[in-house]
Amino acid sequence: MGRLSTHVLDTAKGKPAAGVKILLYRISGQSHRKVKEVVTNADGRTDGPLLEGKDLTEGRYELVFCAGDYLRASGQAGDGDLFLDEIPIRFGVPDASQHYHVPLLIAPFGYSTYRGS
């Protein structure tokens, strides 16, 4: 059974990023349809998979991490314009029977991601 999951790590503080709002969109052509909205827990993870089973279908998706809100709340950014605010990660699901884990590693001036396990 396939599933989609994520987690967020704060590389500047060396700990999980709790309280990060994440929006999940399904992309079809020029259309973006919001599928889910979650917030990371104390471990920087969501309380369950973003999608699993029949809810995960092949196609294009986008995760939008509201990093700016987190960076402000954690004291790493002020109220003005941020270098990183919302971080979109667009990815494909070619085989809905697989596990897709899309983590985000963030700091005030950089981020990275990869396909995790």
Check which CATH number belongs to the domain holding 32 and give it.
Answer: 2.60.40.180
Domain membership of residue 102 as a residue range: 3-113
Number of H helices, E strands in the chain: 1, 11
User: 61: Cβ–Cβ under 8 A, 6 or more apart, which residues?
Assistant: 4, 24, 25, 26, 27, 35, 90, 91, 92, 93
pLDDT of residue 77: 85
117 — pLDDT class (breaks 50, 70, 90): confident
Domain count of the fold of the chain? 1
> What's the pLDDT at 98?
96
Residue pair 63/88 in contact by the 8 Å Cβ criterion: yes
Instruction: Sort residue 14 into left (φ over 0), alpha (ψ -120 to 50) or beta.
Output: left
pLDDT of the residue at 80: 83
pLDDT band, very low/low/confident/very high, at 34 (cuts 50, 70, 90): very high
Burial of 67 (0-12, 13-18, 19+ CB in 10 A): buried
